[in-house]
Amino acid sequence: MLKVFLVEDEYVVREGIKNNIDWRAHGYDFCGEAGDGEVAYSMIQKEKPDIVITDIKMPFMDGLQLSRMIKSEFPWIEIIILTGYEDFQFARDAIKIGVSCYLLKPVNGENLIKEVDALSEKIREKKEEREAAKRYEEEMRERTELDKRDFFNTLIKGGKHTSELIEEAKNLDIDLTGLRYNIVLLKIWSEKHDIGEYSNSVLKVEDGVRAIADECGAIFFDFKVEGTALLFKGDDDNDIQKKIDRALAKMKALFEGYKHIRYFGAIGQTVGRITEIHTSFDWASRAYAHLYLTSENAFLVGSKEGLRPENNVDIPSEINPQHIDRRLMKRFLRAGEPSEIPFFLEEYLNNIGDNALKSTMLRQYIAMDVYFCVADFVVNELGLSKEEMEEKIEFPGHEVLAEEEKTKEYLLSVLELALSLREDHTLGRYHDVIKSAIAYIYEHYSDEDLSLNTLAAQVNFSPNHLSAIFKQETGQPFIKYLTDYRMNMAKEMLRRSSKKSNEIGILVGYKDPHYFSYLFKKTQGITPTQYRNRGQKDSEET
């Protein structure tokens, strides 16, 4: 029920309008009245009516000033001006302000309710338009998140000027304004699932982390598979640290409610320029490499002084030489990223000992152990034959083991090759997954509830992971692919059937006819009716 508010300084007129019209019978809630604009404005702020009927000439604040203030704060409120003055200037000023109509006194109830009814239809249309636009923005969030992920990758690579970064951020509605910056990297996964698999609990926790980021003034980015990056901004180092401390405390409390959820976080160093954010990321990445060297939950800080725990979080007891074994290397081979290799190897070696590669004997042991670990991984997990493995992966000979630097280069190259082979292996798997996903879309496109999350559950991928590979394989985000397919099916039905557009909307997955019309016009540039009429006209001409 739409709400109507009346502002009129003449008591008799106000009572007549209020009591001589059965507002509720006409479908309206008469929510309040006032005798001048000043009193009315405070009441309107509280009641937020849909329609305001106001006189022009009133004490303390006239109707035009009141209308200006209403339109400034509540542009969606429709205003009807009442006046006994036949002055064109008033009408012109009212139109400039955005007043809907201008009625001369005396006005009878029938004419007034007629104008209110006309406005109510306009209000409903605008409300439907706003709701459709909001739903469209929510559905297109996947595309925005992918764009934000690309922008974050630009930030952490470095090399771009501040003006370029600010402009790119502005286009994504991201405010990079700050005097100091720091990055927190976070990975969340379920003990019941492998990293990258679908988990409803992980989705809920990620939503919680997103809310915490907003609350603590951080910018949330999706980062790699099941990865999250939070960019903190502040006025000084103390301000940044307070925000990070607050966010971490809230996240730990959130994680407590999900005992089977694993998490590992890494905090960088605070920097003073947008163009230095990549440096903060590098320090966070050094700490992040320990994700593969421990099975404990933790937040670690990367710094020049070495790794240290954040506040009361202990550095995991498992990070010590006694626990550096093939299981840790296998963990990295399964889930690590190529960009993480240098940091991982450095921390892997540091945890064996400061001079791990100084000793010839230990150098040989480490190189051989990594070789056999990688060999086992590519044969037993990637499916290469022993002959293919030996052809691709060099055995660490005397030349490789002769010098510390050559051994390190060998280890880097072996890990890079292993992850490259894993990438080739997963590309084939990704192709099959996306093929299944597209087949599912073709079969279920008419289901209104079809979403990235439901599709991710169907193919057992996390939504972030599926979103990334879907775009990689098809060149489009999932939601755009689905929307385009639905629109193409709708156009086919508009051309070849006599079904009404609202029926067609339901058949292609949109039960709300207003949203279907909005989306069709948004994507095709014309309404469904215009599209059908144009097709009929083209047929007649041919």
Residues 423-431, mean pLDDT to the nearest whole number: 82
Given a cut of 80, is residue 153 above it in pLDDT?
A: yes
In residues, how long is the chain? Answer: 542
CA–CA gap between residue 289 and residue 345 (Å, rounded):
8
Structure token pair of residue 11 = 């008591």
Q: What string of DSSP letters covers 222-291? A: E-STTEEEEEEEESSHHHHHHHHHHHHHHHHHHHHT-TTEEEEEEE---BSSGGGHHHHHHHHHHHHGGG
CA diameter of the chain? 106
Structure token pair of residue 380 = 């037993």
How many Cβ atoms are within 10 Å of 452's Cβ, its own excluded? 20
Q: How confident is the model at residue 315 (pLDDT cuts 50, 70, 90)?
A: very low
Sequence-distant contacts of 479-482: CB under 8 A, at least 24 apart: 479/139, 479/140, 479/142, 479/143, 479/452, 480/140, 480/143, 481/438, 481/441, 482/441, 482/445, 482/450
Indicate the helix (H) or strand (E) that contains 81.
strand 78-83
Q: In what order do the strands lie in the sheet with 227-234?
A: 218-222, 227-234, 180-190, 261-267, 298-301, 308-309
More confident residue, 276 or 110: 276
CA–CA gap between residue 53 and residue 36 (Å, rounded):
12
- Locate the domains of the chain by residue range: 2-139, 147-315, 320-444, 445-541
237-256 helix and 200-215 helix, angle to the nearest 10 degrees: 150
Residues 397-407, mean pLDDT to the nearest whole number: 85
Query: If 0-12 CB within 10 Å is exposed, 13-18 middle and 19+ buried, where does residue 351 land?
Result: buried
Place of tokens 């006194």: 105
Structural domain 2-139, CATH architecture: 3-Layer(aba) Sandwich (3.40)
How many Cβ atoms are within 10 Å of 212's Cβ, its own excluded? 20
Q: What is the pLDDT of residues 63-105, one digit of tens each?
A: 889 999 999 999 989 999 888 766 666 767 777 888 888 888 8
Which residues sit opposite 32 in a β-bridge? Answer: 5
Given a cut of 60, is residue 38 above it in pLDDT?
A: yes
Structure token pair of residue 344 = 């991982």
**pLDDT at residue 206, rounded to an integer:** 92
Contact 541, 530 (CB under 8 A): no
Contact 1, 28 (CB under 8 A): yes
Q: How confident is the model at residue 396 (pLDDT cuts 50, 70, 90)?
A: confident
**pLDDT at residue 488, rounded to an integer:** 96
Residues 391-408, mean pLDDT to the nearest whole number: 86
Mean of per-residue pLDDT scores for the chain: 87
CA–CA gap between residue 500 and residue 505 (Å, rounded):
9
Which of 437, 454, 452, 445 shows the shortest CA–CA distance to 504? 445
Residues 141-150, mean pLDDT to the nearest whole number: 88
CA–CA gap between residue 321 and residue 353 (Å, rounded):
7
Which of 379, 526, 516, 524 shows the shortest CA–CA distance to 446? 516
Given a cut of 60, is residue 314 above it in pLDDT?
A: no
More confident residue, 361 or 124: 124
Contact residues for 50 (Cβ-Cβ < 8 A; gap 6+): 2, 3, 4, 76, 77, 78, 120, 123
Q: Global pTM?
A: 0.68
H-helix segments, 295-383: 326-335, 341-352, 360-380
Contact residues for 538 (Cβ-Cβ < 8 A; gap 6+): none
Q: What is the pLDDT of residues 237-271, one digit of tens each?
A: 999 999 999 999 999 999 999 988 989 999 999 99
Place of tokens 């991984």: 377
Structure token pair of residue 257 = 């409610």
**pLDDT at residue 322, rounded to an integer:** 45
CATH superfamily placement of domain 147-315: Reverse transcriptase/Diguanylate cyclase domain (3.30.70.270)
- CATH placement of domain 445-541: 1.10.10.60
**pLDDT at residue 316, rounded to an integer:** 42
**pLDDT at residue 313, rounded to an integer:** 42
Sequence-distant contacts of 494-502: CB under 8 A, at least 24 apart: 494/528, 494/531, 494/532, 494/535, 495/532, 495/535, 501/528, 501/529, 501/532
